[in-house]
């Protein structure tokens, strides 16, 4: 569950810390106090898109920190999927955005990408705001909603189907290469041959570039080398010659060593040095004789490096990559050259994989249709409980001409709110209040099939009131028995069901407007419910009404245990 929120410099919020609990967490407040900013900030912290304008005016950055307490099984799954270490079942995610638009995401202190943050938190929390009605209004998204209901049965099959579709597309691409436009095919062959010939003509060798660069450095300094090596040779051999003088010392020490044993050790050491000096002198002479210092030698190295650099710009960042690329296009040329045999082989593979894909699509479609029947009954029952007595909810199936990674099904939810009316597209007939209840029914059924612990509802009470609002409140209270619910509402019936009730307010401080959140005590809760009932100043009557509403909510919640 989401246990802690810290928000800094977001919208009207200067700094806000909020501890949340299990069960039903209700947030209420006057219009315009910043309730939507809290939801937008949470959504931002989860990796959602956000405009940099959300940063509080005059601040350089905005920051959101979210602490989750996750179940042991979910912690293990997230660790495996995202290679994240979770200790004590605590997951801390944070995201910072600066006024340039750049943002930094972290999970348990480790920097991560926005897409990875979003993918990971999808396992932890589900936010339903008013904009989510659009997913119900968009028929193309209905198949994704349906697949969430039967994800456990579909996930393995859809994974296999996805891989098969990738392989199928590769085969189609290869066939198109072989039996496509003759002119394009010939152009492709000519290009491949040109590239192979260009690379082959260069006769590249592994490590050649490094050796050439070293040789260029030496050739470029040949004059310095000649002068320096000449000085060394002159010192070693010119009069008075160091080598001659050392030889005389060796002879003298040899004689003296015959008198005193101690001096023999000096003789041995100096003799070894004398031999090494002669070897160095010989090597210096040979080196000086072989120093290249002609401009042609330098030009030759430069021309060779130019060839290598030119090939690197076209075919790879190193000689190894260039040679690897040459092998790849040679294989492609060989493949095209054996086109008749390859075409026959690919067509056989295409037929085989099409049959396997069709079989997978049939299995997936069958699972969807079986689930749809069960889902239809559950959603209609929930909608009936939400005072939509004659509702009909129908997942309608059509078959596409072509398959893709989702199979060949097209799914659209059809709806009828009144007895005797035909089912039609949701966006054609459902009102705002009906759409809210349909979404709540879907979320309720989904909550029984997935492992997401936290659900956030942002003003799901749109378009409902009275007895219907009471039924929605009871459904949310029931849902909160299995999940943590965080709900922003204007309805006293829903607010009365709260296990924890928070009030959002804004104050002016030093010419600044600041949003705050307060956990209400029993007396505060009654006053807030009374305000929600009247929408104006409270009276003794509305206070009494609020107390009765809270008592009734308590009785209902006890009956749900």
The model's pLDDT over 238-282, given as tens digits with 9 standing for 90+, comes to: 656 777 778 878 887 887 888 888 888 888 888 888 888 888 877
Dihedral, CA of residue 401, residue 405, residue 410 and residue 415, to nearest 10: 180
The tens digit of pLDDT for each residue in 336-351 reads: 776 767 788 888 999 9
Alpha helices in 389-486, H assignment, sequence order: 426-429, 432-447, 466-479
The DSSP symbol for 126 reads E
User: In a 3-state reduction of DSSP, which class is residue 560?
Assistant: coil
Gap between the Cα atoms of 32 and 519, Å rounded = 19
pLDDT at 100: 78
Asked whether the predicted pLDDT for residue 391 surpasses 90, the reply is no
More confident: 261 or 199: 199
pLDDT at 547: 92
Gap between the Cα atoms of 27 and 2, Å rounded = 15
Closest CA to 531 of 505, 513, 508, 554: 505
Average pLDDT over residues 176-205: 83
pLDDT at 198: 92
Residue found under tokens 């697949």 = 147
What does pLDDT average to over the chain? Answer: 84
pLDDT at 132: 53
Alpha helices in 291-318, H assignment, sequence order: 295-315
Domains of the chain, start order: 1-124+452-561 (3.40.50.300), 208-329 (no CATH)
pTM greater than 0.85 (yes/no): no
Q: Tell me the sheet residues that pair with 96.
A: 63, 104
When pLDDT is cut at 50, 70 and 90, the band that residue 136 belongs to is low
> In whole angstroms, what separates CA 314 from the centre of its chain?
31
Give the helix/strand (H/E) hosting 253. Answer: helix 242-257
For 519, phi then psi, to 5°, come to: -75, 125
Gap between the Cα atoms of 354 and 345, Å rounded = 14
pLDDT at 287: 74
CB 460 within 8 Å of CB 485: no
Asked whether the predicted pLDDT for residue 394 surpasses 80, the reply is yes
The tens digit of pLDDT for each residue in 440-494 reads: 788 788 766 666 788 888 767 767 778 888 888 888 898 888 889 999 888 999 9
pLDDT at 71: 87
Lowest mean pLDDT among 108-117, 273-282, 303-312: 273-282
The CA-based diameter of the chain, rounded to the nearest angstrom, is 132
Asked whether the predicted pLDDT for residue 133 surpasses 60, the reply is no
Tell whether omega for the bond before 327 is within 30 degrees of 0, i.e. cis: no
User: In a 3-state reduction of DSSP, which class is residue 180?
Assistant: coil
Answer left, alpha or beta for residue 519, where phi above 0 means left and psi between -120 and 50 means alpha: beta
Give the helix/strand (H/E) hosting 556. Answer: helix 540-559
């Amino acid at each position: 569950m989401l246990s802690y929120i810290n928000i800094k410099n977001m919208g009207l919020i200067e700094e806000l810390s909020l501890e949340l609990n299990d069960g039903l967490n209700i947030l209420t407040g006057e219009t315009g106090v910043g309730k939507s900013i809290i939801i937008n900030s949470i959504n931002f912290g989860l990796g959602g898109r956000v405009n940099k304008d959300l940063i509080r005016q005059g601040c350089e950055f905005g920051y959101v920190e979210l602490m989750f307490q996750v179940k042991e099984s979910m912690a293990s799954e997230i660790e495996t999927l995202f290679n994240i270490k979770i200790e004590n079942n605590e997951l801390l995610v944070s995201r910072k955005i600066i006024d340039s638009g750049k943002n930094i995401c972290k999970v348990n202190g480790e920097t991560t990408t926005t897409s990875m943050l979003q993918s990971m938190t999808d396992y932890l929390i589900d936010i339903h705001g008013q904009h989510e009605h659009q997913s119900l209004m968009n028929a193309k998204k209905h198949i994704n909603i349906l697949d969430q209901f039967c994800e456990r049965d579909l996930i393995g099959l859809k994974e296999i189907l996805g891989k098969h579709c990738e392989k199928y597309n590769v085969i189609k691409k290869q066939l198109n290469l072989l039996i496509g436009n003759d002119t394009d095919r010939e152009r492709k062959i000519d290009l491949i041959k040109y590239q192979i010939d260009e690379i082959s003509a260069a006769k590249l060798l592994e490590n050649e570039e490094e050796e050439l660069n070293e040789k260029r450095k030496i050739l470029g300094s040949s004059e310095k080398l000649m002068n320096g090596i000449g000085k060394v040779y002159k010192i070693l051999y010119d009069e008075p010659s160091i080598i001659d003088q050392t030889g005389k010392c060796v002879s003298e020490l040899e004689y003296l060593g015959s008198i005193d044993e101690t001096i023999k050790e000096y003789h041995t050491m100096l003799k070894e040095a004398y031999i090494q000096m002669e070897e160095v002198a010989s090597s210096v002479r040979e080196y000086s004789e072989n120093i290249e210092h002609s401009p042609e030698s330098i030009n030759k190295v430069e021309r060779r490096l130019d060839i290598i650099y030119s090939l690197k710009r076209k075919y790879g960042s190193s000689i190894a990559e260039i040679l690897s690329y040459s092998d790849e296009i040679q294989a492609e040329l060989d493949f095209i050259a054996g086109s008749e045999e390859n075409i026959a082989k690919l067509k056989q593979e295409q037929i085989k994989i099409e049959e396997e894909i069709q079989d997978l699509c049939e299995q997936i479609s069958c699972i969807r249709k079986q689930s749809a029947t069960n889902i239809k009954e559950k959603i209609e029952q929930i909608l009936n409980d939400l005072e939509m007595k004659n509702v009909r909810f129908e997942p309608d199936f059509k078959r596409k001409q072509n398959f893709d990674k989702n199979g060949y099904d097209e799914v659209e939810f059809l709806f009828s709110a009144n007895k005797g009316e035909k089912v039609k597209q949701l966006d054609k007939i459902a009102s705002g209040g009906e759409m809210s209840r349909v979404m709540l029914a879907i979320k309720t059924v989904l909550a029984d099939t997935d492992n997401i612990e936290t659900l956030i509802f942002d003003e799901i009470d749109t378009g409902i009131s009275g007895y219907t609002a009471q039924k929605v409140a009871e459904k949310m209270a029931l849902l909160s028995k299995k999940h943590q619910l965080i709900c922003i509402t204007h309805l006293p019936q829903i607010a009365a069901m709260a296990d924890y009730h928070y009030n959002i307010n804004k104050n002016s401080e030093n010419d600044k407007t600041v949003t705050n959140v307060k956990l209400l005590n029993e007396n505060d809760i009654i006053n807030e419910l009374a305000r929600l009932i009247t929408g104006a100043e409270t009276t003794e009557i509305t206070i009494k009404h609020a107390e009765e509403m809270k008592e009734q909510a308590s009785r209902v919640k006890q009956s749900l245990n």
